[in-house]
Amino acid sequence: MKIAVYSAHDYDRDGLTAANAAGGHDLLFIKAPLSAATARQAAGCGGACIFVNDHADAEALRILAEDGVHLLALRCAGFNNVDAAEAKRLGISVTRVGDYSPHSVAEHAVALLLALNRNIPIAHERVLANDYRLDGLMGFDLYGKTIGIIGAGRIGAVFAGILRGFGCTIIAYDAYPDPEFERAGARFVSLAELAAQSDAISLHCPLTPDTRHLLDADFFAACKPGALLVNTSRGAVLDTAAALAALHSGHLGGLALDVYEFEAGLFFEDHSQSALADPLLAELQQLPNVLITGHQGFFTREAFSTICQTTIDSFTAYEKGAPLVNRIPD
């Protein structure tokens, strides 16, 4: 099958080409993200492959369908950027990679929590400047603290397991609580209880209409003063402006983000030669108790090779008329 691979970086080209050794598909790599403006570039392709910040909205999907695309494969877990109802109406099947190393993202969330709490980026910068003072670098023991997890699914469960190893008490909020999670030694609570009890909170739920701005000004007001917040799920689960206000008031102790509400068009690209046109992000970047990475939670060798192989396998299965086991849920 000829496949248009949007938002293609060198690592995508390498990973997908290697995964395609047995698949034998014809991969057309396109640097631009999918949108209504770029959808025509897939003309002549039976499949298209997209990533987290591509816009598979109704118009883009209509053009893809018109030009013969039957399968849209997301090379990521989240599918909030696809108009799933419209894809169904147009007869485009949509797959994702729902199941790849949850350790990749969970371990990154732990790295962010540790680095934020112990001020590692600031400490490193100081050492590089031969400034060995400890002033302002004090953190707290994670041992004995309460960690709140929002979204206790695959990644949330791995994150919980790691933090239990640190000697933390784990509480979680989930719209569909899985008893298995509690059997592993955690406790489900309401969102309000989670806010009130947690010394640090980590987000691991998908972005849906229900979770958009789930963490808003009211949530931050209900948090323990000085609590730390880590978001490796999707940017808009957090009302970022409200989080910034809570940081300014000192109520929120620190914020670590791997995903950002307005990351589309910014993350995954080099913008170092232009002024940052996002005042909210610019303000966050200036704060000493904010730590940001550019959506790299998934980016381990193990997770990425699974992502590439599963994506290619979806195209192969479609071509052979085999069941599409990685269809997005209805």
Q: Is 174 in the site for ligand NAI (CB under 6 A)?
A: yes
CB of 159 to ligand NAI, least distance (A): 9
Q: Would you report the helix, strand and coil content of the chain in percent, each value rounded to 5?
A: 40, 15, 45
Q: Of 99 and 141, which has the nearer Cβ to ligand NAI?
A: 99
Catalytic residue among 234, 248, 283, 327: 234
Q: Is 233 in the site for ligand NAI (CB under 6 A)?
A: yes
Q: Is 281 in the site for ligand NAI (CB under 6 A)?
A: no
Q: Is 180 in the site for ligand NAI (CB under 6 A)?
A: no
Enumerate the H helices of the chain as residue ranges.
Answer: 10-19, 58-66, 84-90, 102-117, 120-128, 154-165, 179-183, 191-197, 217-222, 240-249, 279-286, 301-320
Q: Is 310 in the site for ligand NAI (CB under 6 A)?
A: no
By the 10 Å C-beta count (0-12 exposed, 13-18 middle, 19+ buried), 209 is classed as: exposed
Q: Of 83 and 174, which has the nearer Cβ to ligand NAI?
A: 174
Closest C-alpha to 231, from 274, 209, 263, 186: 263
CB of 297 to ligand NAI, least distance (A): 3
Compute the distance between CA of residue 148 and CA of residue 73 in angstroms, rounded to an integer: 33
Q: Are the beta carbons of 189 and 165 closer than 8 angstroms?
A: no
CA 292 to chain centroid, in Å, comes to 13
Closest C-alpha to 177, from 169, 162, 187, 163: 187
Give how far Cα 272 sits from Cα of 180, 268, 275, 276, 277, Å. Answer: 45, 12, 8, 8, 12
Q: Are the beta carbons of 267 and 260 closer than 8 angstroms?
A: yes
- What is the C-alpha end-to-end distance of the chain, expressed in Å? 26
- Determine which residue in the list 206, 222, 287, 317 makes contact with ligand NAI, applying CB under 6 A: 206
Catalytic residue at 263?
yes
The SS3 of residue 280 is: helix
Q: Of 25 and 204, which has the nearer Cβ to ligand NAI?
A: 204
Q: Are the beta carbons of 267 and 235 closer than 8 angstroms?
A: no
CB of 323 to ligand NAI, least distance (A): 20
Q: Is 96 in the site for ligand NAI (CB under 6 A)?
A: no
The kind and range of the H/E element at 93 are strand 93-95
- Determine which residue in the list 15, 23, 46, 102 makes contact with ligand NAI, applying CB under 6 A: 102
Site string for ligand NAI, 51-80 (x = CB under 6 A): --------------------------xx--
CB of 236 to ligand NAI, least distance (A): 10
CB of 178 to ligand NAI, least distance (A): 6
Name the one range near ligand NAI by CB under 6 A: 14-22, 34-42, 204-212, 304-312: 204-212
Q: Are the beta carbons of 217 and 196 closer than 8 angstroms?
A: no
Q: Of 8 and 65, which has the nearer Cβ to ligand NAI?
A: 8
Radius of gyration of the chain (CA): 21
Catalytic residue at 234?
yes
CB of 176 to ligand NAI, least distance (A): 4
Q: Is 205 in the site for ligand NAI (CB under 6 A)?
A: yes
CB of 150 to ligand NAI, least distance (A): 6
The SS3 of residue 2 is: strand
Catalytic residue among 25, 55, 75, 295: 295
Total residues at the site for ligand NAI (CB under 6 A)? 30
Catalytic residue at 269?
no
Q: Which residues are catalytic?
A: 234, 263, 295
Q: Which residues bind ligand NAI (CB under 6 A)?
A: 77-78, 102, 105, 150-156, 173-176, 204-208, 210-211, 232-234, 258-259, 295, 297-298
